[in-house]
Amino acid sequence: MADLSSFPITQRWPATNPDVIQLYSFPTPNGVKVSIALEELGLPYEAHKVTLADEDVKSDAFLSLNPNNKIPAIVDPDGPGGAPIGLWESGAILIYLAEKTGKLIPGDAAGKYETIQWLMFQMGGIGPMFGQLGFFHKFAGRDIEDPRPRERYVNEANRLLKVLEQRLEGREWIMGDLYTIADIAIFPWVRGLKVFYEAGDLVGLTDMPNVNRWLDAAIARPPSEKGLNIPDRNG
């Protein structure tokens, strides 16, 4: 049985089976990337619900694993060389899981880095910009009278979606026939923009047939249907 005692987070969120990957997360667009990937890969894991409240993400236990106080994070008892490893940042975790299994990423170097390129497109563009749009469109930012911040993020979200629309022309998935961590990173954010932020019409998503076809196909995958609800926010 693996010894995870060197990870203080396991005292707050104890492992039932310390021999499997421990996932600390919440079902946000960033959080579900990892649960979906784990489901796609068929890796055994335990999901621990870490809410976005300060008492969870800013607790000493969680900060001991992720000093940036953001979900998701994992502890893999079977890390490189067989030693346990803790990881945070969803993009880093996706790369780690893909390389650990040799799945969800092309085997050739050129394809691998092209996939990571699109993963970074989400990490540096889609995630931050869609999140800001949500703030100014649906949450507290909508009370700001100055229209320029909202317009900025609407325009940038539209531009990013057009990049994705062009990439998906003639392709089933972002990397063609292969479903990868790039798809897993991006589609929850597009889904969230449409369903949670209710901003699909605002950013012209209805006029992007390639993106919508790809989004529907990604959501319909059984691992996505399951992973989108892990951890159970009501559990």
Q: Is the pLDDT of residue 235 over 80?
A: no
Which tens digits make up the pLDDT trace of 29-39?
Answer: 999 999 999 99
Which tens digits make up the pLDDT trace of 89-124?
Answer: 999 999 999 999 999 999 999 999 999 999 999 999
pLDDT > 90: percent of the chain: 92
Q: Strand 85-88's sheet: what is its strand order?
A: 45-49, 21-25, 73-76, 85-88
pLDDT value for 129: 96
Q: Which CATH number fits domain 9-103: 3.50.50.60, 3.40.50.720, 3.40.30.10, 3.90.1010.10?
A: 3.40.30.10
The Cα 143–Cα 135 span in angstroms is 10
pTM over 0.75: yes
The Cα 69–Cα 102 span in angstroms is 29
pLDDT value for 147: 87
Query: H or E stretch including 47?
Result: strand 45-49
Q: Which CATH number fits domain 109-224: 1.20.1050.10, 3.30.70.20, 3.40.109.10, 1.10.760.10?
A: 1.20.1050.10
- Both structure tokens of 58: 């800013």
pLDDT band for 159, please (50, 70, 90 cuts).
Answer: very high
pLDDT value for 145: 82
